[in-house]
Amino acid sequence: MKKIPTLFIRDFDARPALVVPEVTPGCEWVIEGEGEATRKYDGTCVMLDDAGEWWARREVKPGKAAPAGYVTLSVDEETRKTVGWEPVAQSSFAKAHAEAVGNCGIEKPGTYELLGPEINGNPDGYTDHILMPHGWAILSIRQDFATAPRDYDALRDWLHARPYEGIVWHHPDGRMVKIKGKDFPAAT
């Protein structure tokens, strides 16, 4: 899974680097109403490949060595971080991932969000570690996301009024775009 572009351009000179009301080139299709909005979960990305191997998404900072077995996907042009996969068994999430696999019995290749008590502060309050298929949510959440606006101010307000980390739009051709509530400055 390559790094998903953020809907609006990020001001890397600001701290924190928040978004400004200018669409990232190549993401205009979201503003034009294309694609389906889905919930972005606050966990860590893992993948089960077609060979039955599990991988954890990993970013490697410039000048740092990649871990053994690392598979590079891309380099972020702004941050110069390398984005790729490392074998999940050697990742810092290995124990939580093993528990999640035991809890969920996942056998279908694909990408998942690893969620639970030891992941990113567990903002959703899961009592056990689980694997959430990317793009999946219960009906009421899918219905709420269908109402998500696509302009800067209204989208900021919509996200700030909800407990979700953010949105990922999925285009029928496979492109994806994301935005998180914390990417926006507070409403004025």
Alpha helix locations (H) across 9-75?
28-31
Mean pLDDT of all residues in 14-30: 94
Our count of domains for the chain comes to 1
36-40 vs 54-60, strand pairing mode: unpaired
Asked whether residue 61 is domain-assigned, the answer is yes
Counting Cα atoms < 13 Å in the Cβ hemisphere of 87 gives 8
Q: Is 79 exposed, middle or buried (0-12, 13-18, 19+ CB in 10 A)?
A: middle
Q: Exposure string (b/e) for 102-135, b if CB count within 10 Å is 16 or more?
A: eeeebeeeebbbbbbeebeeeebebeebbbbebe
pLDDT tens-digit map of 112-135: 999 999 999 999 999 999 999 998
**pLDDT value at 136 more than 90:** no
Asked whether residue 17 is domain-assigned, the answer is yes
Asked whether residue 141 is domain-assigned, the answer is yes
Which domain does 86 fall in, by range?
8-183
Question: What is the percent of the chain where pLDDT is above 90?
Answer: 84
pLDDT tens-digit map of 138-178: 899 999 999 999 999 999 999 999 999 999 999 999 899 99
Asked whether residue 2 is domain-assigned, the answer is no
pLDDT tens-digit map of 101-118: 999 988 899 999 999 999
pLDDT of residue 46: 96
CA distance 23 to 9: 6
Residue-averaged pLDDT of the chain: 93
Asked whether residue 133 is domain-assigned, the answer is yes
Return the higher-pLDDT residue of 5 and 15.
Answer: 5
Asked whether residue 162 is domain-assigned, the answer is yes
Asked whether residue 188 is domain-assigned, the answer is no
Residue 7: name the closest of 46, 35, 44 by CA: 35
Q: What is the DSSP letter of 67?
A: P
Question: What is the percent of the chain where pLDDT is above 70?
Answer: 98
pLDDT-based confidence at residue 77 (cuts at 50, 70, 90): confident
Q: Which amino acid is it at 73? A: L
**pLDDT value at 188 more than 70:** no
Asked whether residue 60 is domain-assigned, the answer is yes
